[in-house]
Amino acid sequence: MKYNTQMEAAKAGVITKEMEIVSEKENMDIHKLRDLVAKGLVVIPANKNHESISPEGIGSGLRTKINVNLGISKDCPSIEKEIEKVKMAIDMKAEAIMDLSSFGKTEEFRKKIVEISPAMIGTVPIYDAVGFYDKELKDIKAEEFLDVVRKHAKDGVDFVTIHAGLNKETVNTFKRNKRLNHIVSRGGSLTYAWMELNNMENPFYEYYDELLDICREYDVTLSLGDALRPGSINDSTDASQIKELITLGELTKRAWEKDVQVMIEGPGHMAINEIEANMLLEKRLCHGAPFYVLGPIVTDVAPGYDHITSAIGGAIAASSGADFLCYVTPAEHLRLPNLEDMKEGIIASKIAAHAGDIAKNIPGARNWDFAMSEARQNLDWEKMFKLSMDPEKARRYREESMPHDEDSCTMCGKMCSMRNMNKVMAGKDINILRDDD
């Protein structure tokens, strides 16, 4: 029997080739993984038309994954430059790439990255709608929005962000509870604008069953977008955010009834002391569905350094249950990131994800750190470089300031604690002022 989605197969007790690959990557029992997929606690985004994909799992008991955003825009329309970013993301082993293109030859770019990328590919179809139809936003018909989703699914996209939780009821909550920063989600603001301009219900909510049918046909994972995520710490955990989250929980159950895999998207900007509670709240209200967060960014005053503000929040979020981190670059809030911005954002996000995995006791997470600590104690510089998250930078930093004694560095020299403890523990004398024998 042929199964349309990973969830449908898992519910039937069937183990797919994608499950086998994820089981091996995660060192998780295949039957346990299958059961988690059946319950919706793990998703394996893998469109039937994405032939180059190396499947990854997102969710309970698995390593925290990271996503890289990129894409062409009206001000920066070069497909070639964005392809360079795709290749960097792949080289740096990001598990997911989101194509957020909003101008020009979006189809050409989307198909190209699906063709070359082993990483899962995500999109936000509403970004593409204006250019796809060459119409102003208010003139696009409800069914036309769904047709764009269908096009992305057919092109091989593995997950789509859809802001289906922003219905009329949620909008009324938003209108009654004023914010400092209104709606900061690009897709959310477009959806809200369309609803207001046409005095109609959100088409993705009104025709949610048709949307699920599209996702089911191609096994596209539905990433339920947080249109009302906070865009400043002033607006976090407010009535609008929570009202939408409750709606997303209801939509999650409806998706599972049709065997459609679901992720939930989350904040946003948020003070550190609110992060853990938000992770627990999402897991409760959305029935344990995998949680995909942007940041959270823990302070609003560090433009140019938001990869750091995001990594702080991301580490806390991951340690508290978040399953998927969207990277943030130093260019966030300022401009489209370049290659160097991307690299810094990816590394910062990977640090946050790994720190979270250690705290969650993901099997094997500490092994990497153990190996690094062992190499440091042995003063094995080559092994340290190989184990580094960014080997090139680690090697370059050492070579820029070489010590007189190769078994130390220019910070401590012969007062190096590792060097001296090795000697003492071996019953040897310590020669700080004298030359080595």
216 domain residue, yes or no: yes
What pTM does this model have? 0.95
380 in a labelled binding site: no
Determine the Cα–Cα distance for residues 205 and 326; give it in Å rounded to an integer: 24
Determine contact, residues 219/44, Cβ cutoff 8 Å.
Answer: no
412 in a labelled binding site: yes
283 domain residue, yes or no: yes
What is the number of domains present in the chain?
A: 1
| Per-residue pLDDT tens digits for 249-301 | 999 999 999 999 999 999 999 999 999 999 999 999 999 999 999 999 999 99
365 domain residue, yes or no: no
Q: What is the pLDDT of residue 210?
A: 98
Q: What is the pLDDT of residue 437?
A: 58
Structural domain harbouring 353: 48-53+62-359
425 in a labelled binding site: no
Whether the bond into 290 is cis, omega within 30 of 0: no
89 in a labelled binding site: no
198 in a labelled binding site: no
| DSSP bridge partners of 121 | 97
265 in a labelled binding site: yes
| Per-residue pLDDT tens digits for 288-339 | 999 999 999 999 999 999 999 999 999 999 999 999 999 999 999 999 999 9
179 in a labelled binding site: no
54 in a labelled binding site: no
413 domain residue, yes or no: no
DSSP H helical ranges for 40-160 = 79-91, 106-116, 125-133, 142-154
Token pair, residue 250, equals 């209801």
Handedness of CA 260, 113, 227, 266 (dihedral sign): positive
187 in a labelled binding site: yes
| Per-residue pLDDT tens digits for 196-225 | 999 999 999 999 999 999 999 999 999 999
Quick one: CA torsion of 265, 97, 157, 260, rounded to 10 degrees?
-30
CATH number, domain containing residue 172 = 3.20.20.540
Asked if pLDDT for residue 104 goes beyond 90, the answer is no
Contacts with 364 (C-beta within 8 Å, 6 or more apart), sequence order: 27
229 in a labelled binding site: yes
| Per-residue pLDDT tens digits for 147-173 | 999 999 999 999 999 999 999 999 999
Determine contact, residues 327/67, Cβ cutoff 8 Å.
Answer: yes
Buried b / exposed e along 145-162 (16+ C-beta atoms within 10 A) = bbbbbbbbbebbbbbbbb
416 in a labelled binding site: yes
Q: What is the pLDDT of residue 207?
A: 98
287 in a labelled binding site: no
